[in-house]
């Protein structure tokens, strides 16, 4: 490989061609500050926080987009650089709503850290640019007064997710990041995926907070408040308490939830297993009875809304199964109260999700059975951490507890729903057993695992080649669907997760402050999930004893009348 030699702050370094000054500096443990830069997503060099001096070059240059060349002599912290950086940070800060103490991103804010590191005092500038008013209409809340115009959200929304409901508008001092005509997000094609929140360096993008709603339910003696926790929450929540990335904190989380006052702590893994029973059956039926193929998973509400807006011709391909969150709610308000002897009307179901779109999903008109909403409140992993902190619980020191019965047992198949490829693998485990009539031992479908945006595999099950595809990120979903539309690809079964990497990187997961660690963090969360799967005695959904009991005692068979009423749904072209 062609290596380029250069000097940064007096230190020699040799890097491959096309490396940026920023990356080269990192090799020398020189941490050039950045703000707008987001590797692979937003490499635009516009904030100018990362400017450095290059000997012989006029002016200062953005390290994030300036490629190295032979013999370059770079200085990253000269007086000129420091002064420029301080001015730039002051300029950004001056138009930023500095209500840091009451901001959800306090102590977790990239701008705050940058200003602090650079030793910026307060600013003497008084005027504030009007970048629009706060929009609380959807699951994602936008506060333009905090926006620093870095453009990361615009890039992730347009390029990664192919949604594009926000963009730069106006110019000069009036520049803003906004929706068309400054309308509310809720009325647009926003899929509520929350990826914009994850990339926002400051508190300009947040989930709509539901913690107060949950607190008041917990404090209401008339309500029977139960909670479910999604698979991906347990491998990320620990990060909010300084624990190593990928740590499985399931036991502590259950204890914390009990301390918070939930009557029962249940697991979405349980209803993930239930989903597999329904979805697996649906897939087999579609294949055997000439149903619409490919069948596409329906667990990811961001993906569902994306499809409803942009790919009407695929609505019939979507599995009619509700997502695990909604299936849980439906069961928690029918089967559970019957068994527990409580009034279903008094059951208040809270979901803890790695996802912001789950808030929207729970509020969808059709997500109710016999007048009872499946889900009453959805909080994200971040909001749960907030509640634990509000309750002054020392999370790291908590003992472990187990999930409650009768909606708490789960298999390894349920937990892998949190990873891209997980729903597919879980489905394959059950479908293969059903079709072969055997208890197969080879259950790790490694071909469907991985982080690539689009993956394909052919799985042979009892003589039939099942062609499957797994996509994560709606931008990738669009690419795949376009290929199918063009007749260039076809499959039996497709798993789509709206967020890159799957739910482990959902819009409701802990913010990764050091964006250079994003891929590493995703990988560790994924590994955390697979480790849980591996540790389980039962790793196939149909082996879940509580699921078996649910069917035996209440539902009958998958896909039959009662299941259909409780566990299936329909879609709307939007």
Partner 1 sequence: MESVKEVIKRYGNSKDNLIQIMLELQQLSGKNYLPDAWVKEAAEELGMPLSKVYGVITFYAMFSTEPRGKYVIEVCKSGPCHVSGSENIVHILEKELGIKPGETTADGLFTLELSSCFGACDIAPAVKIGENVHGNLTADSLKDLIISYREGLTYGNN
Partner 2 sequence: METTKILSARFGKIRPDSVEEYVAAGGYEGLKKAIGMQHLDVIEEIKKANLFGRGGAAYPTGIKWEQAYAIKKGPKYMVCNADEGEPGTFKDKHIMAEDPFQLIEGMTIGAYLMGATEGFIYIRGEYMGIQRIVRSAIENAKKAGYLGKNILGAGFDFDLKVVSGAGAYVCGENTALVESIEGKPGRPRQKPPYIKNCGLYQMPTILNNVETYSCIPWIVKDGGEAFSALGTDFSGGTKLMCLSGNVAKRGVYEIPFGTTLRELIYTIGGGIPNGKKLKFVHLGGSSGACFPESLLDTKICYNDLKKNGLSLGSGAVLVVDDSSCPVDYLKAVMEFFEEESCGKCTPCREGNQRMVEILEKLTEGKGTMEDIKKLKSLAQTMKTTSFCGLGQSAPVPVITLIKYFEAEFIAHTEGKCPAGKCKMNGKGVK
Q: Mind telling me the catalytic residues?
A: 279, 282, 299, 319, 358, 361, 366, 503
CB neighbours (10 Å) of residue 294? 20
CB neighbours (10 Å) of residue 202? 22
Q: Which of 108, 123, 137, 158 binds partner 1 (CB under 8 A)?
A: 158
Q: Which of 17, 128, 170, 292 binds partner 1 (CB under 8 A)?
A: 170
Q: Can residue 164 be called a binding residue for partner 1 (CB under 8 A)?
A: yes
513-525 burial, b at 16+ Cβ within 10 Å, e below that, comes to eebeebbebbbbb
**Of partner 2, partner 1, none, which one does residue 129 interact with (CB within 5 to 8 Å by kind)?**
partner 2
**Of partner 1, partner 2, none, which one does residue 164 interact with (CB within 5 to 8 Å by kind)?**
partner 1
CA distances from 343 to 22, 214, 347, 500, 566 (A): 60, 19, 7, 40, 18
Task: Give residues in contact with partner 2 (CB under 8 A).
Answer: 44-49, 51, 59-60, 65, 67, 80, 83-84, 87-88, 91-92, 94-95, 124-127, 129, 149, 168, 170-175
Number of residues counted as binding partner 1 (CB under 8 A): 13
Considering the complex, what minimum distance in angstroms separates the CB of residue 170 from partner 1? Answer: 5
Q: Can residue 186 be called a binding residue for partner 1 (CB under 8 A)?
A: no
Q: How far is CA 126 from the centre of its chain?
A: 38
**Of partner 2, partner 1, none, which one does residue 48 interact with (CB within 5 to 8 Å by kind)?**
partner 2
Token pair recorded at residue 368: 């109710």
Q: Can residue 97 be called a binding residue for partner 1 (CB under 8 A)?
A: no
Q: Can residue 223 be called a binding residue for partner 1 (CB under 8 A)?
A: no
Q: Which of 73, 136, 169, 293 binds partner 1 (CB under 8 A)?
A: 169
CA distances from 560 to 325, 551, 556 (A): 20, 10, 7
Q: How far is CA 436 from the centre of its chain?
A: 35
Q: Which of 38, 166, 357, 481 binds partner 1 (CB under 8 A)?
A: 166
Considering the complex, what minimum distance in angstroms separates the CB of residue 168 from partner 1? Answer: 5
Judged by CB under 8 A, the stretch of 14-22, 34-42, 160-168, 287-295 that binds partner 1 is: 160-168
Q: Pairing relation of β-strands 372-373 and 368-369? A: antiparallel
CB neighbours (10 Å) of residue 210? 20
Considering the complex, what minimum distance in angstroms separates the CB of residue 332 from partner 1? Answer: 39
**Of partner 2, partner 1, none, which one does residue 40 interact with (CB within 5 to 8 Å by kind)?**
none
- Helices marked H in 486-544 — which ranges? 518-535
Q: Which of 152, 108, 194, 526 is nearest to 379 (CA)?
A: 194
Query: Phi/psi class of residue 437: alpha, beta or left (left: φ > 0; alpha: ψ in -120 to 50)?
Result: left
Considering the complex, what minimum distance in angstroms separates the CB of residue 162 from partner 1? Answer: 9
- Cβ partners under 8 Å of residue 124, min gap 6: none
**Of partner 1, partner 2, none, which one does residue 65 interact with (CB within 5 to 8 Å by kind)?**
partner 2
Which residues lie near partner 1 (CB under 8 A)? 158, 164-171, 178-181
């Amino acid at each position: 490989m062609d290596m380029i030699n250069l000097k940064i702050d007096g230190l020699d370094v040799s890097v491959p061609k096309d490396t940026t000054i920023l990356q080269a500096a990192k090799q020398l443990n020189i941490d050039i500050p950045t703000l707008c830069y987001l590797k692979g997503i937003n490499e635009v060099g516009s904030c100018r926080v990362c400017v450095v001096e290059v000997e012989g070059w006029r002016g200062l240059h953005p390290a994030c987009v300036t490629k190295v060349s032979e013999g370059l002599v770079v200085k990253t912290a000269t007086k000129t650089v420091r002064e420029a950086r301080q001015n730039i940070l002051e300029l950004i800060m001056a138009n930023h709503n500095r209500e840091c103490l009451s901001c959800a991103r306090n102590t977790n804010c990239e701008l705050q850290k940058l200003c602090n590191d650079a030793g910026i005092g307060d600013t003497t500038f008084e005027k504030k640019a009007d970048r629009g008013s706060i929009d609380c209409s959807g699951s994602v809340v936008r506060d333009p007064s905090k926006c620093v115009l870095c453009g990361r959200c615009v890039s992730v929304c347009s390029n990664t997710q192919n949604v594009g409901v926000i963009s730069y508008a106006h110019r000069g001092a009036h520049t803003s990041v906004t929706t068309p005509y400054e309308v509310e997000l809720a009325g647009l094609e926003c899929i509520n995926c929350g990826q914009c929140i994850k990339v926002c360096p400051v508190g300009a993008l947040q989930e709509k907070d539901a913690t107060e709603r949950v607190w008041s339910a917990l404090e209401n003696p008339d309500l029977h408040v139960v909670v479910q926790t999604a698979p991906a929450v347990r491998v990320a929540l620990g990060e909010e308490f300084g624990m190593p990335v990928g740590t499985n904190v399931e036991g502590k989380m259950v204890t914390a939830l009990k301390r918070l006052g939930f009557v029962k702590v249940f697991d979405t893994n349980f209803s993930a297993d239930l989903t597999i029973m329904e979805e697996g059956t649906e897939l087999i039926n579609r294949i055997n009875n000439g149903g619409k193929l490919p069948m596409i998973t329906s667990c990811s509400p961001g993906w569902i809304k994306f499809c409803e807006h942009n790919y009407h011709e695929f609505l019939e391909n979507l599995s009619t199964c509700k997502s695990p969150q909604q299936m849980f709610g439906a069961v928690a308000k029918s089967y559970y109260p019957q068994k527990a002897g409580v009034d279903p009307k008094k059951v208040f179901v809270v979901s803890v999700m790695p996802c912001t779109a789950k808030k929207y999903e729970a509020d969808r008109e059709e997500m109710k059975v016999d007048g009872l909403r499946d889900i009453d409140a959805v909080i994200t992993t971040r909001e749960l951490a907030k509640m634990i902190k509000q309750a002054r619980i020392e999370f790291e020191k908590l003992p472990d507890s187990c999930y409650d019965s009768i909606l708490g047992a789960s298999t390894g198949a349920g937990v892998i729903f949190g990873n891209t490829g997980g729903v597919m693998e879980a489905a394959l485990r059950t479908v293969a057993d059903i079709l072969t009539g055997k208890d197969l031992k080879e259950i790790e479908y490694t071909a469907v695992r991985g982080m690539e945006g689009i993956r394909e595999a052919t799985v042979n099950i009892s003589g039939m080649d099942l062609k499957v595809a797994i996509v994560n990120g709606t931008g990738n979903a669009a690419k795949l669907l376009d290929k199918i539309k063009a007749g260039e690809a076809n499959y039996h079964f497709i798993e789509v997760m709206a967020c890159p990497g799957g739910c482990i990187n959902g819009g409701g997961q802990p913010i990764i402050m050091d964006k250079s660690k994003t891929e590493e963090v995703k990988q560790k969360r994924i590994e955390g999930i697979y480790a849980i799967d591996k540790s389980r005695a039962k790793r196939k959904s149909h082996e879940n004893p509580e699921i078996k009991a649910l069917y035996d005692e209440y539902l009958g068979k998958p896909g039959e009348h009662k299941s259909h009423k409780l566990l299936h749904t329909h879609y709307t072209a939007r």
